[in-house]
Structures are given as C-alpha cells and as structure tokens.
Chains A and B, each alone.
Chain A
Amino acid sequence: GAVVSQHPSWVICKSGTSVKIECRSLDFQATTMFWYRQFPKQSLMLMATSNEGSKATYEQGVEKDKFLINHASLTLSTLTVTSAHPEDSSFYICSARDGGTYGYTFGSGTRLTVV
C-alpha cells in the first residue's frame, strides 16, 4: 500500500532556531500534501495545503512566514518552522494524497520540542 515517510520522528531545538520536517511519498505521486498540527490529547488541526509547484494555501490563523512549506516535487514536501519558540512545540503530521486513487496516507508524525 501507499507509504508516506516523515522525518525526523522527533527533534529538540533551541528557541530561535529553525527546524525542517520532510514528508515523502515513497511509492506514489502526491499531487497534494497536507500539514497538520496536533496538541496533546487534541485533534489534528489543518495548517496548510500544498500542491506541487505552487504556493501553499494556509488555513486562517496560521502564520505563513513562520511555517514555510515547500512542495518542490510530486514526492516531497517540507515544513520549516522558522525562529521556533516553545509555543511551537507540538506534534506535526503530514498527509499525502494520491491523485490517482483519492487515497490519503499519513506520515508517522514529528514531535517537535523547542527549549
């Protein structure tokens, strides 16, 4: 079945630094990728939608200059948390949509801790 690889699975960084999270579709071409954020014991909140080769569409309230999304190819999207602060600590999950089957596959998530 479809597999989405997300790296790193966890990362600890210092306040003020930037962190990049990668999301790769391993055996299908992902026409659209989605980035979610999940606080402890809460649901997934959609942050942005990215289509290959175009700018990401951010949900209301999400700072596009802080959460940079790049979808340079049909198999790779990256989320960069710039100038991270402790309040950015969260679980980030990507999802890739297979344009051929309308299937959504999720990555295993990245636990970001900003100290």
Chain B
Amino acid sequence: AQSVTQPDIHITVSEGASLELRCNYSYGATPYLFWYVQSPGQGLQLLLKYFSGDTLVQGIKGFEAEFKRSQSSFNLRKPSVHWSDAAEYFCAVGETNRDDKIIFGKGTRLHILP
C-alpha cells in the first residue's frame, strides 16, 4: 500500500521569502502525486498534480513541484510567499488500480510572518 510522509508539521516563513514543503511517498509503481491546500473550515483546492511526463510541474498561485523518483519525493515550492498563502498543505499519492483512491499525508501548516 502507498503512504505519504510530510516531515514538517509546521513551517514559518516571512512574507516574500521562498518556500519549500517536503513530501516523500512510498509506492511500488509510478505514482500519481498531488498537492492540495486547505484553508480553515474549508474543502481542498488542488494546487498541482503529476501523472507523467515533465517532472517539474507548474500549478496555480505560483506554486510548482518537482517529482524526483530517485528520492521518492515531490516537494512543493514557491519563490515568494504572500500572507494569503497561510494555510494547511497536503501532499497526496494516488493508486493506479481499479479504485484509484488517493491517500493524504498528515499535512504541513504554513505560517507567514509579516
């Protein structure tokens, strides 16, 4: 079975600084990988996804992520964060079988300093 690890529970960065959120996965085949963002009390919004092809994926709101098979990682990056980026970020991995369910990491809470 697949699993997702987000090693950082909380991350604090200053507004305007760069950001990298870490995600490692465990899956036997080529995974489908996702990053979602959740504001308090809200549903999830897809930032970006990787299925195949170019390992550097561009998403919404200026986010990007890079799939590194050798490191089993799919880290999320943003060159300059805004105060509105403060939220919970979830990395997820999808199974490529009949059910195609996706499993979420525990999340990383991003705090932005003014």
Complex CA–CA separation, A41 to B23 (angstroms):
18
Q: Is the interface of A mostly helix, strand, loop or mixed?
A: strand
Other-chain residue from A6, A42, A49, A102 in contact with B101 (beta carbon distance below 8 A): A49
Complex CA–CA separation, A42 to B90 (angstroms):
10
Q: Is the CB of B99 within 8 A of A32?
A: yes
Q: Is the CB of A109 within 8 A of B100?
A: no
Complex CA–CA separation, A48 to B99 (angstroms):
10
In the assembled complex, which residues on chain A have CB atoms less than 8 Å from the CB atom of B49? Answer: 103
Interface string of A5-40 (1 = CB under 8 A from B): 010000000000000000000000000101010000
In the assembled complex, which residues on chain A have CB atoms less than 8 Å from the CB atom of B41? Answer: 91, 109, 111
CB A66 to nearest CB in B, in angstroms, measures 20
Q: Is the CB of B100 within 8 A of A32?
A: yes
Q: Is the CB of B44 within 8 A of A106?
A: yes
Stretch at the interface among B14-22, B61-69, B70-78, B104-112: B104-112
Q: Is the CB of B43 within 8 A of A43?
A: no
B103 touches A (CB below 8 Å) = yes
Q: Is the CB of A46 within 8 A of B106?
A: no
B27 touches A (CB below 8 Å) = no
Q: Is the CB of A44 within 8 A of B43?
A: no
Interface string of B43-67 (1 = CB under 8 A from A): 1111001010000000000000000
Binding site for A on B (CB under 8 A): 32, 34, 36, 41-46, 49, 51, 90, 94, 99-107, 109
29 pairs from A and B in contact (CB 8 Å cutoff): A6-B43, A32-B99, A34-B102, A42-B107, A43-B90, A43-B105, A43-B107, A44-B44, A46-B101, A46-B102, A46-B104, A49-B101, A57-B99, A91-B41, A93-B43, A93-B44, A102-B32, A102-B51, A102-B100, A103-B49, A104-B34, A104-B46, A104-B102, A106-B43, A106-B44, A106-B45, A107-B43, A109-B41, A111-B41
